[in-house]
Structure 1
Amino acid sequence: MSACVYMIGGGAVTPVGLDAPQTCAGIRARAVRIEEVLRTAPFGKPQAVARVPAHWTLRRTPVGWLVNLAARSVAEIAARHALDARRTVLVAIPPEPFRQAAFDDPAAFATFGAAIAARSRLAFRDVRQVAQGGAASTIAGLREAAALLAGDGIEHVLVGGADSYVIDREYDRLDAAGRLRTEGTAQGLTPGEGAAFVLLARERPGAAATSLEILGTGDAQEAQSATSSGYSQGRALVAALRAAASAAGLAEASIDWVVSNGNGERYASWEALLARARYYRTRRERLIVHYPALSVGEIGAASGALALLMSAHGFARGYRAGSIAMIELASEGAGRAACVVRAVRRRDGS
């Protein structure tokens, strides 16, 4: 990226944790919180999902539920970092547009970011949202944050999203495509839900325990997306990986490990297998790849920020060697994106 941008904190609400520390610790411990719900069509058919535990009143509407999840994540960051909202911009990432019809009130996504700000009761300097939505849009959010931080008067930018696949219409759509994890489909995704946001700043943190430097980003469009009739050959993901490494000024051999939003379905596994064989050409004993979706299920627009949080957690807790990680993000639609991050050590070098 043209200017230094640092991730100095974050917030999250997922099936395995109601804040970022709980979520990261739960994923690190390989905790899984999957339960069975009954589908409406075919009536009574059980479906394994990863749900966030919550009172039913918070789930009155699907969009309202996402707003509540996101607002909790944002409030967590604001409380932990004593944010001055008047010098902070919120950049929200909604579900992908083609999926929004599955929610009861898709028109509400037009003011998704504003609703999150209102629910969190924070008077942000500005509220924006990434129109294309989905996991890969996290990279567009990071770029927008870099541009905002390069200007005057902005100290922090919050980037993240909220999403849910725990919706009957989504079960039907994915099941019809053979992409839903069921008794008859082992290589299918587990519907999940959650929210995750990261706090970005232009100044290197002094003593932040969870901090990364965003070195470079890249994105591309996949012609044969998960919603098409074909299988991806991984070309768009490879292009995104190369662009991110080039922007960071690093060779592929510098990448120590990977965080991916891969969800376990056949399509995603095929794409990742081909892309990694083409991009990671340096001989390694093994390429360590971390998959948060194994614990939280498919969480769509929230998975990008969660991947950043998990990379920071891995460096901070010392269970991942090296100092450079690659974030791989694939939306359900055409979006493919990547981000190279570097661990930021404390001032004393620890």
Structure 2
Amino acid sequence: MSKLSSLEIVSSGIICPLGGNTRMTIAAVNAGISAYGDVDIYGRTSTPYRMALVPNDAIPPLHDELLKLPLHHKQRRMLRLSEVALAEALAGLHANAPIPIFLAGPESLPNCPTTMTAKFINYLAVQTGANIDLTSSRIIAYGRSAGIYAVELAFRYLESTGANYAIIGGVDSYLDLKVLGYLNAQDRVMVEGANDAFIPGEGASFLLLSANEQNSPEKARIYKPGFAMEPGHMYSEEPYLGEALSAAFAVAIKNRNHNIQTIYSSHNGESINNKEFGVALTRNNSHLADNVNHQHPAENFGDLGAATASTLIALATASRHTSLVYCASDNGQRAALCVN
């Protein structure tokens, strides 16, 4: 068993409200473009939700074989989103062997049905025609942070098998009336006049990772993640201390052992994010550049849910310096890793 300290990011694919590929998304974020607006879905105060959605004509139709199945409408949309991003990421693959996918999916919310079933990756193989190793593939249903947990699974897979490639990614959509209704009842969905809410979004992103240990100046590398659990999370009765993110930062920074120039975060505008971010900055200050740059692109493309982590990692590959990517899930998972 060969231990790997980092993996090469061979290629990436993104579809989100800002654009249909990685290059377009990076350019739009750097330009400060926002993709959200009012939609024809109304909250309990008869005020339209403010969302960031991918145009329906930007994603392919559902495969004929999948149309025959009684799939939840959200699952159908996630399959269509995934096809675009996965095709872009797979363009960098020059091998014929089946490849596993470690996929981030939506986290469970109270009273909301699970919309990503265990067979989602099987359906994805049908939708895309990709040669997926279904036996080794896994779904991690932790929401925003799940993509970083997927990276950990990719490390384990590549170390234990000696394989050359693995794919990690994530897909999600808040275009789900049940989920929107639940979040709106908590005043979390952005509407006109809201002060502490977020912009629901949607998207998919994938990264092709390689066990190649030879550093290439043209390719970014990803380092082993750090994880922690926040006991006082959004759906817990425990007191919120905001300390878990700091622990995840510390492990991720140690695994890279380099000062951080830029932080890419899942911060979506809700105030609950502020305390733990401040604690994490204070406790890890010695490893951060004096003018560390905090990027929170949910202000551009909305909250991408389970597609957040892989999208942030893809954005970080455009930086010339060491970046820290972190994500926080509603159910308490905190995760971080470095990209260089």
Match of residue 273, structure 2, among 245, 255, 268: 268
Matched, 1:327 2:338: no
Matched, 1:97 2:108: yes
CA pair 204-247 structure 1, distance change in 2 beyond 3 A: closer
Partner of 1:23: 25
Question: What's the TM-score once normalised by structure 2's chain length?
Answer: 0.87
CA contact (8 A) 1:232 1:267 kept: no
CA contact (8 A) 2:34 2:299 kept: yes
Q: Deviations over 1:284-334 (max 9, x none)?
A: 54321111211110111100001111110122xxxxxxx321111111211
SS of equivalent to 2:11: strand
Kindly state the Cα deviation for residue 261 of structure 1 after the two structures are TM-superposed.
Answer: 1.2
Quote the Cα distance in structure 2 between the aligned partners of 1:329 and 1:35.
Answer: 24
SS of equivalent to 1:154: coil
Between stretches 24-33 and 11-20, larger displacement belongs to 24-33
Partner of 1:199: 208
Matched, 1:110 2:118: yes
SS of equivalent to 1:313: coil
Quote the Cα distance in structure 2 between the aligned partners of 1:205 and 1:43.
Answer: 57
Between stretches 69-78 and 165-174, larger displacement belongs to 165-174
SS of equivalent to 1:264: coil
Kindly state the Cα deviation for residue 92 of structure 1 after the two structures are TM-superposed.
Answer: 1.2
Kindly state the Cα deviation for residue 44 of structure 1 after the two structures are TM-superposed.
Answer: 5.0
Runs of at least 5 residues in structure 1 that lack an aligned partner in the other structure: 316-322, 343-350
State how 1:173-212 maps to structure 2 within 5 Å.
173-204=182-213, 209=218, 211-212=219-220
Partner of 1:242: 250
State how 1:128-167 maps to structure 2 within 5 Å.
128-152=137-161, 154-167=163-176
- AA of the residue aligned to 1:26: A
Match of residue 304, structure 1, among 303, 309, 312: 309
Kindly state the Cα deviation for residue 112 of structure 1 after the two structures are TM-superposed.
Answer: 1.7
Partner of 2:233: 225
Runs of at least 5 residues in structure 2 that lack an aligned partner in the other structure: 63-71
Partner of 1:74: 86
Between stretches 178-187 and 285-294, larger displacement belongs to 178-187
Matched, 1:34 2:36: yes
CA contact (8 A) 2:17 2:52 kept: yes
Kindly state the Cα deviation for residue 280 of structure 1 after the two structures are TM-superposed.
Answer: 2.1
Match of residue 122, structure 1, among 126, 130, 133: 130
- AA of the residue aligned to 2:302: G
The CA RMSD over aligned residues, in Å, is: 2.7
CA contact (8 A) 1:102 1:167 kept: no
Kindly state the Cα deviation for residue 35 of structure 1 after the two structures are TM-superposed.
Answer: 2.2
- AA of the residue aligned to 2:83: A
Quote the Cα distance in structure 2 between the aligned partners of 1:45 and 1:337.
Answer: 35
CA pair 270-339 structure 1, distance change in 2 beyond 3 A: same
SS of equivalent to 1:96: coil
- AA of the residue aligned to 1:25: A
CA pair 195-282 structure 1, distance change in 2 beyond 3 A: closer
CA pair 49-84 structure 1, distance change in 2 beyond 3 A: same
Partner of 2:67: none
Partner of 2:300: 295
Kindly state the Cα deviation for residue 145 of structure 1 after the two structures are TM-superposed.
Answer: 0.9
Quote the Cα distance in structure 2 between the aligned partners of 1:146 and 1:31.
Answer: 34
Partner of 2:181: 172
Quote the Cα distance in structure 2 between the aligned partners of 1:257 and 1:226.
Answer: 27
CA pair 191-58 structure 1, distance change in 2 beyond 3 A: farther
Kindly state the Cα deviation for residue 207 of structure 1 after the two structures are TM-superposed.
Answer: 6.2
SS of equivalent to 1:88: coil
Question: What's the TM-score once normalised by structure 1's chain length?
Answer: 0.84
CA pair 6-46 structure 1, distance change in 2 beyond 3 A: same
- AA of the residue aligned to 1:341: V
Kindly state the Cα deviation for residue 7 of structure 1 after the two structures are TM-superposed.
Answer: 1.3
Kindly state the Cα deviation for residue 283 of structure 1 after the two structures are TM-superposed.
Answer: 7.8
Kindly state the Cα deviation for residue 153 of structure 1 after the two structures are TM-superposed.
Answer: 6.2
Match of residue 88, structure 1, among 93, 99, 118: 99
CA pair 124-283 structure 1, distance change in 2 beyond 3 A: closer
CA contact (8 A) 1:38 1:45 kept: no
CA pair 334-138 structure 1, distance change in 2 beyond 3 A: same
CA pair 283-22 structure 1, distance change in 2 beyond 3 A: closer
CA pair 204-87 structure 1, distance change in 2 beyond 3 A: farther
